[in-house]
Chains A and B, each alone.
Chain A
């Protein structure tokens, strides 16, 4: 049974860079895609982007200029960096495993990390 454990700074100042990492424990790492999703307080889910085992990345157009998702296959970890954050980036950030290739769904999620952007 795969488990996703995520960590990173929870309080940022405006203009700083958000940095989160998600460790994958159990199951195959290379057979899946890996994604980040966020949820502003009291609001719905928003897909941020994903990385495939090939290294290909896909991002939501509205964040593409500020987002980088990377992977460290030697550690079974993947990371999110979001630059120049503002209060609008305050949200719970989730990492998730994607079963893709002929299908598409998020079947395992991290516990979530609340990131607050405040001066």
Chain B
């Protein structure tokens, strides 16, 4: 099993939108609607932002949205704010195991 593929970095200015992709295979991302996304600030534990592809936990701003097409899932952050600058990881259930993406560093310019 290989890690899911994410871009190493993305950037955007305050108020803009950015999208982070997460590509897997039909055995993980494409095979289950169990994709989740985590935000991690330096030195902190990851925080759940999206689960089941597009669902938001209570307390997560609706600026964060998720989607999936085939073997690729996406996280879109609209109305970028300075506090959104962090690392983002996708995650997919894959049957007997779980895969994370390599992580994407979001820079708010």
Contact indicator A61/B97 (Cβ below 8 Å): yes
Contact of B48 among A46, A94, A107, A111 (CB under 8 A): A107
Given A44-B89, A94-B45, A110-B45: A105 and B36 interface contact (C-beta under 8 Å): yes
Contact indicator A103/B100 (Cβ below 8 Å): no
SS class, residues of chain A in contact with chain B: strand
A-B contact count (CB 8 A): 61
Tell which of B3, B45, B91 has the most Cβ of chain A within 10 Å. B45
* B30 / chain A contacts, CB cutoff of 8 Å: none
A111 CA / B46 CA spacing, docked (Å): 9
Counting contact residues on chain A (CB < 8 A from B), the size range is 20 to 34
Query: Which residues does A use to contact B, with CB under 8 Å?
Result: 35, 37, 43-47, 50, 58-61, 94, 99, 103-107, 109-112
Query: Which residues does B use to contact A, with CB under 8 Å?
Result: 1, 3, 32, 34, 36, 38, 45-48, 51-52, 57, 89, 91, 93, 96-103
